[in-house]
Amino acid sequence: MATLAFDIYGTLLDTEGVVSILRETIGSKAEEFSRTWRRKQLEYSFRRGLMSRYENFAVCTRQALKYCCDFHKVSLAPEQEEALLQSYRTLPAFDDIKESLAALRADGHHLYAFSNGTAEAVEALLVANDLSDDVLGVVSCDAVKTFKPNREVYDYFMQETNSSGNAWLISSNPFDVIGAISSGMKAVWVQRSDNAVFDPWDIPPTITIRGLSDLQKHIGNLTNPGG
């Protein structure tokens, strides 16, 4: 059986879930604003990791929101800003998540949430989506004070779960997949859209799937990649 590390933001949970509240707040700019917010959130985590100037993921999210307001020339009242930040604590799960996690758990695999977010934030998201019983625990990059794709965080996951040599990352983020493989893990890329492009680094995902419901179909690959 395999130890499965599930990325949270963008993989189990839909970061576009903020669009509905953004539409109420800023109207037609909502989709573009949401994409900029997510891109800057990740960029800030990368930069903080490289510079060894760690602040937790919530800080990256808040500062990215302020950048978006300046970039898109949007003025938010304090209560609107707080409502948007709170929406990141209640992001919705993709439709295929609950059933897929339950099936993998029933097959005997060891499931963990593995995230840039703090353990408290991730646990709140899992509870909000009725997913907390489907994972054995949360492994947060906050414990090592840096972010994916720093090798330290993947090493930390394998140490915490005692899964060296049998650990798989499942992520929709190519940088995360490449980071995991570069650290000795195997990795599944969840390509939810035809428009999603994998980075041409000559470090391909071990497996590519279109949705989490496809993961169980590859169970033989997980436990015996060469079989």
Residue ranges making up the domain that contains 42? 15-87
pLDDT in tens, 1-32: 899 999 999 999 999 999 999 999 999 999 99
Which H or E run includes 208? strand 207-209
Assess whether 20 and 68 both reside in one domain: yes
pLDDT digits (tens, 9 = 90+) for 101-124: 999 999 999 999 999 999 999 999
Give tens-digit pLDDT for 67-114: 999 999 999 999 999 999 999 999 999 999 999 999 999 999 999 999
Query: Are 140 and 203 found together in one domain?
Result: yes
Indicate whether 217 and 144 sit together in one domain: yes
One domain, residues 195 and 129: yes
Q: Where are the alpha helices (DSSP H) in 93-145?
A: 97-106, 119-128
Inter-residue contact 126 to 112 (CB < 8 Å): no
SS3 content of the chain, % helix, strand, coil (to 5): 55, 15, 35
Residues 58 and 167 in one domain: no
Cβ-based neighbour number of residue 56 at 10 Å: 19
Q: Into how many domains does the chain fold?
A: 2
DSSP category for residue 166 = S
Give the residue-averaged pLDDT of 195-204: 97
Give the tens place of pLDDT for each residue, 117-150.
Answer: 999 999 999 999 999 999 999 999 999 999 999 9
Final residue of a structural domain among 87, 119, 150 = 87
Pair (166, 77) in one structural domain: no
Domain boundary residue, one of 87, 121, 149:
87
pLDDT at 221: 54
Residues 155 and 198 in one domain: yes
CATH code of the domain covering residue 47: 1.10.150.240
Boundary of a domain, candidates 29, 52, 87: 87
Q: Do 8 and 37 belong to one domain? A: no
Say whether both 133 and 55 belong to one domain.
Answer: no
**What is the model's pLDDT at position 227?**
43
Residue 165 has pLDDT above 80, yes or no: no
Same domain, 106 and 188: yes
Q: Do 107 and 171 lie in a common domain?
A: yes
User: Based on the domain organization, do 97 and 191 belong to the same domain?
Assistant: yes
CA 12 – CA 10 distance, rounded (Å)? 6
Paired tokens of 80: 């609107």
CATH number at 188 reads: 3.40.50.1000
At 44, give phi and psi (nearest 5°): -65, -35
186 pLDDT higher than 90: yes
